[in-house]
Chains A and B, each alone.
Chain A
Amino acid sequence: MNRNVERAPQTLYASIRRASNDVFRLEVELTLSPGITILFGPSGAGKTTLLDCLAGLARPDSGRIVAAGTTLFDDEQRIAFPPQRRNCGYLFQTLALFPHMTARHNIEYGLAHLSKAERRSKSDVILRSFRIAELEDRRPPHISGGERQRVALARALVTDPRFLLLDEPLTALDAATKSRIVDDLREWNRSHGIPILYVTHDRSEAFALGERVVVLEAGRIIAEGTPQEVLDAPRRETVAQLAGFENVFDAAVTALHEHDGTMTCRLLPPQTVRSKAALEKFFVESGIGGEGRLPQSQAPTPQVTLEVPLTPAEVGEKLQVGIRAGDILISLERPTGLSARNLVAAEITTLRREGSTAIVDAVSVEDRDIPVKVHLTPRAVESLQLKIGDAIWLVLKTHSCHIMKA
């Protein structure tokens, strides 16, 4: 406890604004404490740009970066350390090991300011802690996957960086190899205690590796906290996908049932379909399309409603409903005597298998613009003898429906 008070806090604070072009704008503020923080987000969210700004490889338009008490960037004070002076460990997705140098020379590259003996002893230690001592004389092309990542990690950490950035360097590895490397990284960081920012777009990695998750979407942080906190309260679609909601529906609240703790929602067709309808409307109203050239919407308006858990919402409010594909039951006949409150008549559009999961895509019979994804076991598909075009009933428990405010 006392040690922490004495030492400069090993935190990384960054407030960064950077417009890459007219469309994309990175605007984040985050504080990283020692330990692994997962930076999760879809591709194009600005993850690598954020890392490059922290490392000094890209320049923010404005903001401030402070690492372990040292200001690395501050546009107001006109401070902008070049990457050489930031002392940041950066692992690229491609690792960027120097192909013409042995593992040991790669590792000692960042120690040029030390004497030969000091370089040697430091690289000896890190070679051992990452279990790659036997590779010291090999060049990267002759080192196997998994071990290459260890060499790159050792090279980044041997300089005792102020913080470590990992840009999906372990994506190519199998889960077991990956977790062994991360264990060794954690072990190393037990005695060093630096902030580590680990970028991934893989949700299982996000779950397994981090003490903390930061979710980045379109250049902004939309959620942060422990993995459990972020996943328990998914509010946005990115978080929903992170939590494994294969089905995310736009919906409108039609009725509140306070005494039951539920409310009724009408599902709306997905955005793209709606904009197609808007386009048709535009064509018809502007007279460009002419009468009858575009199909008119059928009356009456199709309706699919769900009974979902009550949340503080008004009637008419738009929100999103997330449902895991594995939480939906399929019945061949309209089930009776069932506790589940939601039954949706549907038709199977595709059937396929991925590993040990059978994936059924269906559309609601009431509104064919609403697609539903269901995961079953292959044996369930077999025993029900499901085929494309079959009419089925989807059974959904109220508490399998997770409400997200848009």
Chain B
Amino acid sequence: MDIRALALSLRLALIVSFALLALGLPLAYWLAFTRKKWKFLVEALVALPLVLPPTVLGFYLLVALGPRSPFGRWWLEMTGHTLAFTFEGLVIGSILYSFPFAVQPFAASFAAIDRKLLAASATLGASRFRTFIRIVLPLSLPGVITGFALAFAHTLGEFGVVLMIGGNIPGTTKTISIAIFDDVQAMDYAAANHAALLLLIISFVTLSIVYGLNRRSHFSTLGAGQ
């Protein structure tokens, strides 16, 4: 089994999930509380990776990251190399690809918070930011953890986008899911099996932790009323 590929996958998944916390929480807050009429357009945009084939997303990313796009050119000028077929490019692609998996649980848990609590916080003098930190975030913690873990597990298991924009460079862009594909192509079924089983276990454990946490927090609010 390819340990380097596994380590790369875990590193990618961790970076992407933290990046999605930083980017996804503000966007989810906006989605949950805005009264803008065009909010649905943003919602549709966020959900796109759920339905698009990874090849479509990967293709456009490849174009956008390449030296012919303004962004790609800017990156080339700043760093001296293009984003395509690099780990950084993979991070950007994975953030976009896992966006709905983080943002949707965040936004759903924000939206579920009793608005009167936010109004009460405001009349007690708390700024929006303080209300977010002291009220919104603690009360939607299960949703935030769920989004984080889903983004992690989803990035760990992604294949198509990585193949399109990452190529297959060992140590840089060759993730565990690509390694499994390679093993199968090379008819090394034992290696494929080990890696596949490990990925299966990691994903299952991650999801179990998420659902276990959600069950506990659900239980504690329900049990409290009695």
Once A110-B124, A155-B124 are accepted as A-B contacts, the answer to whether A98 and B117 lie under 8 Å apart by CB is: yes
With an 8 A cutoff between CB atoms, is A113 at the interface? yes
Chain A binder among B24-32, B57-65, B126-134: B126-134
With an 8 A cutoff between CB atoms, is B225 at the interface? yes
Bound form: Cα–Cα A100–B138 in Å: 8
Contact assessment for A57 and B125 in the assembled complex, using a CB-CB cutoff below 8 Å = no
Measured between beta carbons, the chain A residues less than 8 angstroms from B120 are: 90, 92, 96-98
Overall SS of chain B's interface: helix
Contact assessment for A84 and B122 in the assembled complex, using a CB-CB cutoff below 8 Å = yes
Since A98-B135, A109-B121, A110-B125 are in contact, a sample of 13 more A-B pairs with Cβ atoms closer than 8 Å, ordered by chain A residue number, is A56-B123, A57-B122, A83-B122, A84-B126, A89-B123, A94-B116, A98-B120, A98-B134, A99-B139, A100-B139, A112-B126, A113-B125, A156-B124
With an 8 A cutoff between CB atoms, is B224 at the interface? yes
A76-118 contacts to B, CB under 8 A, are: 82-90, 92, 94, 96-100, 109-110, 112-113
With an 8 A cutoff between CB atoms, is B190 at the interface? no
Taking the nearest CB of chain B, how far is it from the CB of A199, in angstroms?
Answer: 15
Measured between beta carbons, the chain A residues less than 8 angstroms from B125 are: 84-85, 87, 110, 112-113, 159
With an 8 A cutoff between CB atoms, is A25 at the interface? no
- Can you pick out 20 interface pairs between chain A and chain B where the beta carbons lie within 8 Å of each other? A56-B123, A83-B122, A84-B122, A84-B123, A84-B125, A87-B125, A90-B119, A92-B119, A94-B114, A94-B116, A96-B119, A98-B121, A99-B139, A99-B221, A112-B126, A139-B224, A141-B225, A155-B124, A156-B123, A159-B125
Bound form: Cα–Cα A128–B39 in Å: 48
With an 8 A cutoff between CB atoms, is A142 at the interface? yes
Q: Which of A97, A112, A155, A156 has the largest count of B CB atoms less than 10 A from its CB?
A: A112
Measured between beta carbons, the chain A residues less than 8 angstroms from B135 are: 98
Q: Which of A87, A92, A94, A98 has the largest count of B CB atoms less than 10 A from its CB?
A: A98
Chain A residues at the B interface, C-beta cutoff of 8 Å: 55-57, 82-90, 92, 94, 96-100, 109-110, 112-113, 139, 141-142, 155-156, 159
Contact assessment for B121 and A88 in the assembled complex, using a CB-CB cutoff below 8 Å = no
Q: How many residues of B contact A (CB 8 A)?
A: 20
B220's nearest neighbour on chain A, judged by CB, is A141
Measured between beta carbons, the chain B residues less than 8 angstroms from A141 are: 221, 224-225
Taking the nearest CB of chain A, how far is it from the CB of B207, in angstroms?
Answer: 25
Measured between beta carbons, the chain A residues less than 8 angstroms from B119 are: 55, 57, 83, 90, 92, 96
B118's nearest neighbour on chain A, judged by CB, is A96
Contact assessment for B221 and A83 in the assembled complex, using a CB-CB cutoff below 8 Å = no
Contact assessment for B224 and A142 in the assembled complex, using a CB-CB cutoff below 8 Å = yes
Measured between beta carbons, the chain B residues less than 8 angstroms from A99 are: 139, 221, 224
Measured between beta carbons, the chain B residues less than 8 angstroms from A100 are: 138-139
Measured between beta carbons, the chain B residues less than 8 angstroms from A96 are: 114, 116-117, 119-120
B193-224 contacts to A, CB under 8 A, are: 221, 224
Bound form: Cα–Cα A109–B119 in Å: 13
Bound form: Cα–Cα A164–B78 in Å: 58
Q: Which of B119, B124, B221 has the largest count of A CB atoms less than 10 A from its CB?
A: B124
